[in-house]
Structure 1
């Protein structure tokens, strides 16, 4: 097994992976771009922060539910094809958002965007998994993961800066251009792939195009009823609620508690994504040093500690390293979760990844709604701190679950 040497990837395949990383970047930008503008949306539409947070929660719910459909759709119609047209569909949703005249219309536009954006990250990962030899798979998945991680930075920055400088509508104009350019590049590459495949012998059709061995519902039930799969999916839901969900109010908390502008608050929270990029750069060494149990334990503890600092700091300076290190710790945890998600069902990896993403973003939606509701009762600082403490507790529990699983496998 170990003696097999994978042939170098072609330039065309590497270009396709690069374009998919652009798509994952755009998907995550769309997801996080509204975080910093929530106070402004609350003011413009004369609604509460809880009501304004629908632009985040509705996106997350739709994004999570749509995962259940894109897995089998990608298997039947082609993953790259679905990613291409979903990206162009996001462009249409962004236009509707930019022209919205009411909060309801903006929420509807966010729903349209989520329907398209939901396809981009899981199907990009699945396409890479189908196309790249196992010896090079982790490296190539890191590249698509880097796109989504940078998207957190881009979304937070674009949402805050454009809302402050030009108005919230211009954030969606930016998204329209981003999705339009990326979608056009993907379409051109998809057509190139079609032309190249037409020239191949029939016997050379890649295994990725084969029909799935079982229906999505049957596969999903088999995965969800597995004892380890249930642990991973539950952890994904909690991670989505306490991590990504609580993150949506970080910029609003800094804006209200420290009097920072939305652009500065968004820029500080964008360091969370930069922390994720930093982890990507040293992840190989961290995995060797800590192992999966150490990564989730230390990562969860880092998020918890940094959330406490960000929640109660009387000055904005400590928020800078806190946001950066929180992102580093979060992605220590999150990448370990992703690795376990891809191993839940090796024979139905696409379905497993879709289920994982669905639970993650349904958890995010629940977290956003709960966080917005608790702000009025506990204050934003307590809610930020609570999200961090839940992440720390989850790190302890998942480390224990990993240790127990490994011990049972050895036994």
Structure 2
């Protein structure tokens, strides 16, 4: 896989000049196509940073039901949507129109744009562009429920059998065929982690450049006064795949280690029952962002047992100067620097999603704790800053515009 290549300062400078003059006819015209706007979350952070890099870009989405309180990152711009926006019950149930979304995104008229970004995890990359246009697809993940997670999706939705289950299988089969075909219209794939780059290679048989998503590391800073870090911290929504239950089970095996569990969700009662009778485990439930920041700054280490495509929370913990003890699959492999890394140790990985493996990793962490410094963790987090993301995107756009011989260059 190709990681983000930093273009020369001269070329990036040329691109920035072009970008700043994009209101004129001489500059490249840019479009950003997002999946759907419902809440401000991880993929919307990426769109927000793309809009910072390309402030004159036009924005397109399948639907736009984003609340007024979460629209600040759009900068007041109008969002062009598809016919799904006006279909019955779309505001609450637009996902039920998944079968129409490939048709919907193909109706966007992007003929006047030099550079088109798609922010993709379902259908956005299926837009139609011409031979003189550059289409860069930033992939958060190929459509999991249509590919390797189909069996799990059907099982969790109770659709393994019956007529409705048969229809969903047929629909996902059609979507997979369209998904592969539409990949041919992408000029350059960008993955948010090496893990997603491997999934892109598996599904689309295309190489992807890795550009990690932007993290506001300047909001997550180490505490000015370092307290004695005693408690380990796990903070996540308590749903099955996050495996908070395994972390709790692991600390029941280590009564001498303190664990603070933050978050709520469908598995809260199960996790509370596991923690019952263990005086070293404290449950806090849902807390404010400011409280979570303080707890991250004070934690002995941040423990995480889920397999994530990237893992923004892991970077936020590192930005607080906090070591990581996390499952060694998915995006965590891009984030954690293990013992022996020439740039310094920032955490420990465990290789199995079991309580015993987590307990063993905590033990290993304790033996090397003096090596996992606040400075190492904080320095590691800067690789994932908003500024790093913007620089990599600018470099990629400059290179592709230059290679394409776009008149503005």
TM-score, length basis structure 1:
0.23
Question: Larger helix proportion, structure 1 or 2?
Answer: 1
TM-score (norm 2): 0.23
